[in-house]
């Protein structure tokens, strides 16, 4: 799409903000009244991949739009807090009881009860593929009266409350779940905004839900447009066509008024995934050669214009405890000589920086002795081939605590033998043992050390070469107040987001 076309934007909703600054020259009541009939226009990075099914990555759109909610939400530190569940208790190492919030209505007018929670979570456990947050987890759910559920896991799971905060485990009305396994989120959530229209991969529309159980939304609704072209997204911010813009490309940030650009370190790592199962990279010595070939500083300096952090591991500065625990990873395999080994390097266009990263990585690998062919497509058209292991090297921008606020789920998904997002095709007993130990460890220092040990085991295989940790660059026009700047990318527009009266 071009920047000149009027955008039809929908607001991203998510978890409520903790505070809302007063608008200059107005009281908060005046701001609410001024916003009450206004709609936020949103330029989003990627179109839906699965029809906005909450069982896919599309769940994060529903969360950022504040239309679908979960039993638990996470605070800034990643600790679980009440949401649709008002409290919980660990009955035994494998069983938890969650009390369901009373007085909650779904957008279709039906009340939230234990039966709907059981239905939603059971559907997630039976989905194919399962949501990432359930990788390695066998879970059953049963009602305990009308106002509570008991969740049981096959193994001791100290992070179950964190898991239930994943947007992929949102609780929708019974009408959303179809007999063919598909899930339709229209008028099925519990959040402050009701999803009214899904216009394929073009746009979506949401309205304020006046029956919301919490604080009513301060704007009339959200108009979202999917704008995969980064230049067009930045242009929509500069011209005021969009109120809030996801992921302003680094290359465009310098062209925007600095007051409209907000930069936040985020738990997202730009990583090379090397195919450990087939092709030249199945040889550990060639993986070691590729690892030694990658120079991170030039990529950060040129492609990201310094707006990123050089990676020393899979986990970056958004998890400040990681660097203090990390030790240098031993190199168990000396680098071999590529001798012109032909490899396919792939990535996608949806994140504007990645094709540029691919160019530099290709040059570095060629200098190391590889013969490189590039393949670059839109993510929707390349994901299946990447997961099937059809590339030797894949460049991925990956959120490391996207689901539970804890990186174990991401590590299991991407690097365990049973992982559903295992682009590297890795199946290593030592890695699986380290991940199992981390998953079983209680929250706190013991778990954090186990996570760093698992990171070291993964890096020792050469299956992943972390290059840099990204920062989210979010655009907001001057009349927007209370938009979330969320490192986890779960929240954006909330019930407390308002528009300055003089906006337009």
Tens of pLDDT, residues 245-301: 999 988 899 899 999 999 888 899 999 999 999 999 999 999 999 999 999 999 999
Residue 381 to residue 379: CA distance in whole angstroms: 5
* Residue 6: inside a domain: yes
8 pLDDT higher than 60: no
CB-CB contact of 425 with 276 (8 Å) = yes
Averaged pLDDT, 486-494: 91
- Same domain? For 491 and 464 the reply is no
Q: Quick check: bond before 129 cis, omega within 30?
A: yes
Q: What is the pLDDT of residue 496?
A: 96
pLDDT at 11 over 80: no
Please write the tens of the pLDDT for every residue from 375-426: 999 999 999 999 999 999 999 999 898 677 789 889 999 999 999 999 999 9
Q: In the sheet where 95-100 sits, what is the strand order?
A: 85-92, 95-100, 148-153, 139-143
Q: Same domain for 417 and 278?
A: yes
The answer on 237 and 115 residing in a single domain is no
Q: What is the pLDDT of residue 472?
A: 83
Average pLDDT estimate for 471-498 = 93
Q: To 5 degrees, how large is the angle CA 86–CA 90–CA 95?
A: 110
Reported as type and span, the H/E element at residue 362 is helix 353-368
Residue 70 pLDDT exceeds 70: yes
In this structure, how many other beta carbons lie within 10 angstroms of the beta carbon of residue 503? 16
Residues 170 and 98 occupy one common structural domain: yes
Residues 435 and 322 in one domain: yes
Task: Say which residues have a Cβ less than 8 Å from residue 98's Cβ, sequence separation at least 6.
Answer: 71, 85, 87, 88, 117, 148, 149, 150, 151, 164
Q: Comparing C-alpha atoms, which of 78, 88, 102 is closest to residue 166?
A: 78
CATH number at residue 134: 3.90.76.10
Identify whether residues 219 and 164 lie together within a single domain. Answer: no
Alpha-carbon span 281 to 125, nearest angstrom:
34
Q: Are 163 and 111 part of one and the same domain? A: yes
Task: Give the helix ranges, DSSP H, for 5-113.
Answer: 28-35, 59-64
165/199 same-domain check: no
Residues 344 and 391: their CA atoms lie apart, in Å, by: 6
Question: Of 164, 183, 202, which residue sits at a domain end?
Answer: 183
1 has a pLDDT exceeding 70:
no
Q: Residues 362, 385: one domain?
A: yes
- Cβ atoms within 10 A of the Cβ of 473, count? 21
Burial group, residue 8, by CB count within 10 angstroms (0-12, 13-18, 19+): middle
Question: pTM here?
Answer: 0.72
Given this model, what pLDDT does residue 16 score?
33
Domain that holds residue 44: 1-67+191-243+477-504
Q: How far apart are CA 406 and CA 159, in angstroms?
A: 8
Residues 168 and 44 in one domain: no
């Amino acid at each position: 799409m071009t920047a000149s076309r009027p955008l039809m934007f929908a607001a991203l909703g998510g978890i409520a903000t903790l505070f809302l600054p007063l608008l200059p020259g107005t009281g908060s009541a005046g701001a609410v009244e001024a916003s009450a009939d206004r709609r936020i226009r949103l330029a989003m990075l990627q179109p839906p991949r699965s029809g906005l099914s909450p069982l896919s990555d599309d769940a994060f759109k529903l969360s950022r739009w504040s239309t679908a909610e979960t039993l638990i939400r996470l605070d800034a530190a990643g600790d679980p807090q009440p949401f649709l569940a008002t409290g919980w208790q660990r009955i035994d190492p494998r069983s938890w009881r969650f009390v369901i919030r009373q007085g909650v209505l779904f957008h279709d007018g039906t009340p939230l009860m234990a039966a709907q929670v059981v239905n939603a979570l059971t559907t997630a456990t039976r989905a194919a593929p399962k949501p990432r947050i359930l990788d390695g987890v066998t879970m059953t759910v049963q009602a305990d009266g009308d106002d509570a559920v008991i969740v049981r896991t096959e193994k001791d799971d100290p992070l179950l409350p964190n898991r239930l905060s994943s947007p992929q485990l949102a609780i929708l009305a019974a009408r959303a779940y179809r007999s063919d396994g598909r899930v339709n989120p229209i008028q099925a959530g519990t959040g402050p905004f009701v999803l009214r229209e899904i216009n394929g991969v073009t746009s979506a529309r949401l309205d304020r839900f006046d029956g919301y159980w919490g604080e009513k939304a301060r704007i009339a609704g959200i108009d979202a447009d999917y704008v995969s072209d980064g230049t067009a997204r930045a242009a929509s911010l500069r011209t005021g066509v969009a109120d809030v813009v996801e992921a302003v490309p680094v290359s465009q940030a310098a062209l925007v008024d600095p007051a409209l650009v907000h930069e936040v370190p985020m738990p997202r790592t730009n990583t090379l995934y090397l195919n450990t199962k087939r092709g030249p990279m199945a040889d550990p010595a060639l993986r070691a050669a590729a690892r030694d070939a990658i120079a991170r500083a030039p990529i950060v300096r040129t492609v990201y214009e310094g707006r990123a952090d050089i990676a020393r591991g899979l986990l970056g500065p958004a998890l400040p405890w990681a660097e203090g625990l990390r030790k240098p990873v031993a190199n168990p395999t000396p680098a071999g000589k590529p001798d012109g080994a032909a490899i396919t390097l792939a990535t996608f266009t949806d994140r504007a920086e990645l094709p540029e990263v691919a160019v530099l990585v290709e040059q570095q690998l060629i200098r190391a002795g590889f013969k490189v062919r590039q393949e670059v497509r839109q993510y929707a058209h390349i994901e299946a081939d990447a997961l099937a292991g059809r590339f030797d090297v894949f460049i991925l921008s990956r959120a490391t605590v996207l689901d539970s606020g804890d990186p174990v789920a991401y590590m299991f998904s991407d690097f365990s033998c049973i992982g559903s997002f295992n682009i590297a095709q890795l199946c290593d007993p030592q890695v699986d043992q380290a991940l199992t130990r981390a998953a079983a460890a209680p929250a706190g220092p013991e778990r954090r050390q186990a996570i760093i040990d698992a990171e070291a085991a993964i890096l020792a295989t050469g299956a992943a070469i972390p290059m840099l940790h990204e920062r989210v660059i979010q655009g907001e026009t001057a009349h927007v107040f209370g938009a979330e700047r969320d490192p986890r990318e779960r929240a954006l527009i909330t019930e407390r987001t308002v528009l300055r009266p003089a906006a337009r």
